[in-house]
């Protein structure tokens, strides 16, 4: 019984627990339902104004949060784009820098290639020049050998042949010009004939129209008959007139061609003379003088075909012949290797000035040629053309001024030749000496060009080249081996050294050559080159036969020329002295001369040395140098000092 009760109790307890759990679950379910019902009721329940404001604020805050989120996203995107753009720019900069570097390297390589190419071309050019020099040297040697073995007859024949070739060339040019002129004249005459035919045809047509006009009858027939007769007569007269006109035109054409030829030849002479004034190369001078010789003959030939009066023709012809004769003299000296002297250069200057005036007058005449006046001139009538030819004749009569650029600078050897007694040297020794004398000129090449006999002295000729490519012409005396002459061209454009400094430089140069005991007696500026004249001084006496000329570039302070031939030919020990005193000699001066300097001098007179008193004087605004014989007091030489753009000179 007891066991059953226990069982019942246990069963009852389990039920109880189960019942409690069910209640709790129901309670919980009821509570949840209540809460949801409460929430629903609360949601359904109308909101107050405060609640509405809170909701709006919450909603606004939510929208603001969304905007901030969008702004943050946009900012992030913008920052990302900026970073991306910056990265792209950096990449482009790197690429550009790399391209520039590559371009720079490429340009550097191109420059290097061009430099190498220029260097190669320079080497090739240098080699070509060297080859040309070798060829020219071989040609000169061959020509020298040919000339050495050439007989007088062969030489004369060669010169004649060259002369004929040049004259033939001039003739061909002249013929071509004449043919062109004839063609122009024929074309003009054909046009004139055509116009005359047209006018005649028009007149005939007009006459024909009048012939058929009514109302004239017999009068018209009479007029026509008279017209036919007049036409026949006019035809005869016109035919004769045409033949006479043709002859006149032909004559006028010949005279006109001769005038144009004179203008052309005169222009060519002007060009050649202007070049000869400044030329210093012997080869170029020979070419120019030869051309001038041919031009003078052509000018003489053209002048003979111009109908000028005999006096005018003789005056112009005399100048042309004088030019030709002087060109022959110059050509002879140049063929012997002798350079042009200062006096010859002055004469070339004179020929240039006269021909320049003639060319200007001829060109003016040909340019403004009036046909009527020209026909009157052909007919022998006096007029403007004949007057202009007369003026040309007067121009050609102009005489050259006899000028010197230093006292007694043209005398040369006076008395005994002092070089003749000295020992002769060989060509090889002369080459060694010329290199020693001109050692300071940095010589790169020395060429022997033959021998020259001038002023009773034989010299070896050399052409030297310095490191800058400038050529120097030098002469070494065969007797004694002295430097007698040298000349080179230096571009002197600025005056950096005055005459006193140039004098010091020249004295130092002369001392190195062994020319001592000399004194400057004449100093002049020729452009930017100082021209200095020195003479030996013994016992206080100036020895003018012992004369040395030196040229110094005032831009570079370097000696660029020397002529010591007078000194070498005449220098010896002398004991000059005696005669009247300076005071006594001064009283012999002409009235009006005021001396400001005086010296005792030994001067050359008619091939002899004469002791004289030298006075530098003024006469008003003019300056003179007067030499009086120290024994008799008579004037033996008077110079007038002149100034020009080319420096001071004496006349």
pLDDT of residue 1: 44
- Reported confidence tier of residue 346, pLDDT bands at 50, 70, 90: confident
- The CATH number assigned to the domain with range 577-651 reads 3.10.450
Between 333-337, 606-610, 643-647, the lowest mean confidence (pLDDT) is in 643-647
Banded pLDDT at 645 (limits 50, 70, 90): low
Residues 6 or more apart in contact with residue 418 via CB below 8 angstroms = 568, 569, 570, 571, 572
Handedness of CA 92, 98, 101, 102 (dihedral sign): negative
**CA atoms within a 13 Å half-sphere pointing along the CA-CB vector of 324:** 15
In eight-state DSSP terms, residue 468 is T
CA distance 149 to 156: 13
pLDDT at 615: 93
Q: Are 396 and 354 in contact (CB under 8 A)?
A: yes
Q: Decide if pLDDT at 446 tops 60.
A: yes
Higher per-residue confidence, 576 vs 616: 616
Helix then strand then coil, in percent of the chain rounded to 5, is 60, 20, 20
Element (H, E) at 421: none
Higher-confidence residue: 34 or 579?
579
In contact, 593 and 601? CB cutoff 8 Å: no
- From 390, 392, 451, select the one nearest 144 (Cα to Cα): 451
> Does the domain spanning 412-576 belong to CATH 3.30.1180.20?
no
Task: Say if residue 235's pLDDT is above 70.
Answer: no
CB 272 within 8 A of CB 291: yes
CA–CA dist 277, 275 (Å, integer):
5
The predicted pLDDT at position 239 comes to 43
CB atoms within 10 A of CB 173: 13
The secondary structure of residue 306, as a DSSP letter, is S
| Spatial separation of the C-alpha atoms in residues 162 and 474, rounded to whole Å | 30
What value does the mean pLDDT take over residues 474-490? 89
433 pLDDT more than 90 = yes
CB 492 within 8 A of CB 529: yes
pLDDT exceeds 70 at position 377: no
Query: Which carries the bigger pLDDT value, residue 174 or residue 510?
Result: 510
Cβ contacts of 509 within 8 Å, gap of 6 or more: 550, 559, 562
Note whether 414 and 545 are within 8 A (CB). yes
Phi, psi of 132 (to 5 degrees): -65, -40
- For CA atoms 26, 27, 32, 33, the dihedral sign is positive
Q: Is 391 exposed, middle or buried (0-12, 13-18, 19+ CB in 10 A)?
A: middle
Task: Please tell me the number of Cα atoms within 13 Å of 497 on its side-chain side.
Answer: 22
The pLDDT tens digits of the residues spanning 134-188 come to: 877 777 777 766 766 666 667 776 776 776 666 767 666 776 776 777 777 777 7
b/e code 481-496 from CB counts within 10 Å (16+ = b): bbbbbbbbebebeeee
Structure-block tokens of residue 282: 């012997």
Residue with tokens 């071989």: 138
Segment 290-330, tens digit of pLDDT: 888 888 778 777 777 666 555 454 556 667 777 877 787 78
Q: At 550, is the pLDDT very low, low, confident or very high (cuts 50, 70, 90)?
A: very high
pLDDT band with cut points at 50, 70 and 90 for residue 201: confident
Higher-pLDDT residue of 387, 207: 207
Confidence of residue 504 (pLDDT cuts 50, 70, 90): very high
User: Are the C-beta atoms of residues 357 and 273 closer than 8 Å to each other?
Assistant: no
How far apart are the C-alpha atoms of 340 and 351, rounded to whole Å?
A: 15
Largest Cα separation within the chain, whole Å, is 208
The pLDDT score that the predictor gives to residue 5 is: 47
């Amino acid at each position: 019984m007891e066991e059953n009760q226990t069982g019942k109790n246990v069963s009852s307890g389990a039920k109880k627990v189960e019942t409690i759990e069910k209640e709790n679950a129901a309670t919980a379910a009821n509570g949840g339902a209540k809460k949801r019902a409460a929430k629903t009721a609360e949601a359904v329940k109308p909101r107050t104004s405060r609640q509405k404001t809170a909701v709006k604020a919450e909603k606004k805050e939510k929208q603001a949060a969304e905007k901030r989120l969008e702004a943050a996203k946009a900012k992030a995107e913008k920052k990302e784009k900026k970073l991306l753009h910056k990265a792209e720019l950096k990449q482009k900069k790197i690429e550009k820098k790399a391209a520039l570097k590559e371009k720079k390297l490429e340009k550097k390589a191109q420059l290097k290639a061009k430099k190498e190419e220029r260097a190669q071309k320079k080497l090739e050019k240098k080699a070509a020049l060297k080859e040309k020099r070798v060829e020219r040297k071989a040609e000169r040697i061959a020509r020298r050998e040919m000339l050495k073995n050439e007989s007088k007859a062969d030489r004369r024949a060669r010169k004649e042949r060259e002369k004929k070739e040049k004259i033939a060339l001039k003739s061909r040019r002249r013929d071509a010009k004449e043919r062109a002129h004839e063609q122009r004249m024929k074309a003009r005459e054909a046009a004139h004939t055509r116009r005359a035919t047209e006018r005649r045809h028009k007149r005939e047509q007009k006459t024909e129209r009048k012939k058929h006009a009514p109302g004239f009858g017999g009068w018209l027939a009479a007029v026509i008959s008279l017209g036919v007769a007049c036409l026949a007569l006019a035809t005869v007269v016109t035919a004769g007139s045409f033949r006479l006109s043709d002859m006149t035109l032909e004559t006028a054409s010949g005279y006109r061609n001769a005038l144009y030829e004179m203008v052309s030849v005169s222009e060519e002479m002007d060009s050649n003379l202007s070049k000869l004034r400044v030329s210093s190369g012997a080869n170029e001078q020979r070419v120019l003088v030869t051309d001038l010789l041919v031009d003078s003959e052509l000018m003489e030939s053209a002048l003979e075909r111009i109908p000028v009066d005999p006096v005018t023709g003789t005056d112009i012809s005399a100048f042309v012949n004088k030019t030709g004769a002087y060109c022959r003299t110059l050509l002879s000296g140049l063929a012997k290797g002798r350079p042009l002297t200062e006096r010859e250069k002055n004469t070339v200057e004179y020929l240039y000035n006269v021909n320049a005036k003639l060319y200007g007058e001829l060109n003016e005449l040909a340019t403004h040629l009036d046909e009527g006046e020209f026909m009157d001139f052909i007919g022998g009538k006096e007029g403007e053309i004949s007057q202009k030819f007369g003026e040309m004749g007067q121009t050609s009569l102009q005489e050259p001024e006899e000028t010197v650029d230093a006292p007694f600078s043209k005398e040369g050897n006076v008395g005994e030749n002092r070089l003749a007694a000295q020992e002769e040297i060989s060509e090889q020794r002369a080459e060694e000496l010329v290199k020693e004398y001109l050692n300071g000129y940095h010589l790169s090449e020395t060429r022997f060009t033959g021998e020259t006999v001038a002023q009773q002295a034989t010299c070896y000729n050399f052409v030297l080249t310095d490191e800058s490519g400038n050529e120097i012409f030098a002469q070494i005396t065969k007797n004694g081996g002295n430097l007698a002459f040298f000349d080179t061209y230096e571009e002197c454009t600025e005056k950096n050294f005055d005459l006193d400094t140039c004098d010091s430089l020249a004295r130092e140069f002369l001392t190195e050559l062994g020319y001592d005991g000399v004194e400057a007696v004449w100093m002049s500026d020729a452009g930017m080159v100082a021209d200095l004249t020195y003479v030996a001084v013994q016992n206080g006496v100036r020895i003018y036969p012992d004369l040395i000329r030196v040229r110094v570039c005032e831009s570079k302070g370097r000696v660029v020329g020397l002529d010591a031939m007078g000194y070498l030919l005449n220098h010896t020990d002398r004991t000059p002295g005696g005669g009247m005193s300076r005071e006594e000699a001064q009283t012999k001066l002409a009235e009006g001369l005021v001396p400001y300097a005086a010296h005792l001098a030994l001067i050359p007179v008619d091939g002899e040395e004469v002791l004289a008193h030298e006075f530098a004087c003024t006469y008003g605004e003019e300056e003179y140098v007067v030499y009086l014989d120290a024994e008799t007091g008579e004037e033996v030489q008077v110079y007038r000092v002149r100034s020009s753009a080319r420096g001071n000179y004496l006349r």
